[in-house]
Amino acid sequence: MARGRNQQIVARWDGERLTYGAPIDLQALRRMEPCLFLLKPYRGSTEKQLRFLNVVVAEAVENAPEPTSREKILHTIKRRFGWFTDDTFVNTETGEVTVEVRSTADMDREELKLFIDQVLTFITEEVCPGMDVGLLRKEAEAQSAERRRP
């Protein structure tokens, strides 16, 4: 089958046609059954940013004067700054409307950069008032630089 966790292949649009990215991708294509592909532009890995974000939020949870959780911090920031999906759900019995917040895994690099800035501001102003943002960044960069192996 194709390589990667999600059975992904790498292809490139050259302006006229889609071409495979490497010989292994061509081999994977030849082994596949006829199927429909969903193509999305490659936006670069956000793995390093996500590791950084996880460390920042973990530090906030650990140092917060009031009990909190990773989920509560991220959900609050997403709602406050408008990080919503296009999905809206209406409970037909109660009339309650629910709008889903976006997953950080679905954000591209630029969106994550903005989101991380919002997270840092929120944490240092509201979750852990007085926390040094420079020190928090430095600590998160050091911890997130180390890639965790399974």
> Looking at 4-8, 36-40, 141-145, which range is the least confident one?
4-8
| pLDDT, tens digit, 9 for 90 and up, residues 22-72 | 777 777 777 777 777 777 766 667 888 999 999 999 999 999 999 999 999
The pTM of this model reads 0.67
Using the 8-state DSSP alphabet, how is residue 33 labeled? Answer: P
Q: For 109-118, how does the pLDDT look when each residue is reduced to its tens digit (9 = 90+)?
A: 899 999 999 9
Q: Delimit the domains of the chain by residue range.
A: 1-42, 47-145
Structure confidence at residue 90 (pLDDT)? 85
Category of 6 on φ-ψ map: left (φ > 0), alpha (ψ -120 to 50) or beta: alpha
Q: What percent of the chain has pLDDT over 90?
A: 48
Query: Looking at the chain, how many residues does it have?
Result: 150
Query: For residues 59 and 140, is the Cβ–Cβ distance under 8 A?
Result: yes
Interaxial angle between packed helices 70-81 and 47-63, expressed in degrees from 0 to 180 and rounded to the nearest 10 = 110
Structural contact between residues 86 and 69, judged by C-beta atoms closer than 8 angstroms: no
How far out from the chain centre does Cα 142 lie?
Answer: 20
Alpha-carbon radius of gyration of the chain: 20
Predicted local distance difference test score (pLDDT) of residue 28: 76
Task: Find all residues with CB under 8 Å of 98, minimum gap 6, and list them.
Answer: 88, 89, 90, 91
Q: What's residue 30's pLDDT?
A: 77
